[in-house]
Homo-oligomer: A and B are copies of this chain.
Amino acid sequence: MKRSIGPRTLLQPNPVLIVGSYDQKGQANMMAVAWGGICCSKPPCAAISLRQATYTYGNIQHHKAFTINMPSTSFVKEADYVGIYSGKQENKFESLGLTPVKSDVVNAPYVEEFPVVLECEVLKVVEIGLHTQFIGEIKRHQSR
């Protein structure tokens, strides 16, 4: 017998996704995104859900590109930090001493210190409701 808790957005486990983008001045930004993942095999695509209010939303609309970075467990504090503070107020790469690297394949930065990155070019923008989904074609997967 199950118990209803209403229409809630609960599903586990969730990967920790740190999304890299350039703002309109060309400054690198990153934010933690709770909801996203692979969504197509051909072309290989990943999706991320963002609210319009985020700094990253405007960045991706402008440059049509983003990176999805996965931190190792040693960066748990940094991953938390970039989910709390906004790039509107500060340069989070500088605040945390992390290194933005310009992708060779899309117009977005990735996080040098994090072990995995998917470099994505926007293929579709899906307006759902409070969240907008950016579907990006994965141009390259890098890891170490």
| Residues of A bordering B, CB below 8 Å | 1-15, 17, 34-47, 49, 68, 70, 115-118, 123-124, 126, 128-131, 133, 135, 137-144
Question: Which residues on B sit within 8 Å (CB–CB) of A45?
Answer: 9, 128-129, 131
Question: Which residues on B sit within 8 Å (CB–CB) of A117?
Answer: 2
Cβ distance A130 to chain B, nearest Cβ, rounded Å = 4
Q: Once the chains are docked, how many angstroms separate the CA of A8 from the CA of B140?
A: 7
- Contact partner of A141 (CB less than 8 A), chosen from B7, B38, B49, is B7
Contact indicator A40/B44 (Cβ below 8 Å): no
Known: A9-B138, A42-B129, A126-B126. A143 touches B3 (CB 8 A): yes
Q: A2-B115, A3-B144, A11-B38 are in contact. List 17 more A-B contacts (CB 8 A).
A: A4-B140, A4-B141, A6-B140, A7-B44, A9-B44, A10-B38, A10-B143, A11-B118, A34-B38, A35-B38, A35-B40, A38-B49, A40-B49, A40-B129, A40-B130, A42-B129, A42-B130
Contact indicator B5/A142 (Cβ below 8 Å): yes
Q: Once the chains are docked, how many angstroms separate the CA of A117 from the CA of B10?
A: 10
Question: Which residues on B sit within 8 Å (CB–CB) of A126?
Answer: 124, 126, 135
Cβ distance A112 to chain B, nearest Cβ, rounded Å = 8
Q: Once the chains are docked, how many angstroms separate the CA of A126 from the CA of B118?
A: 21
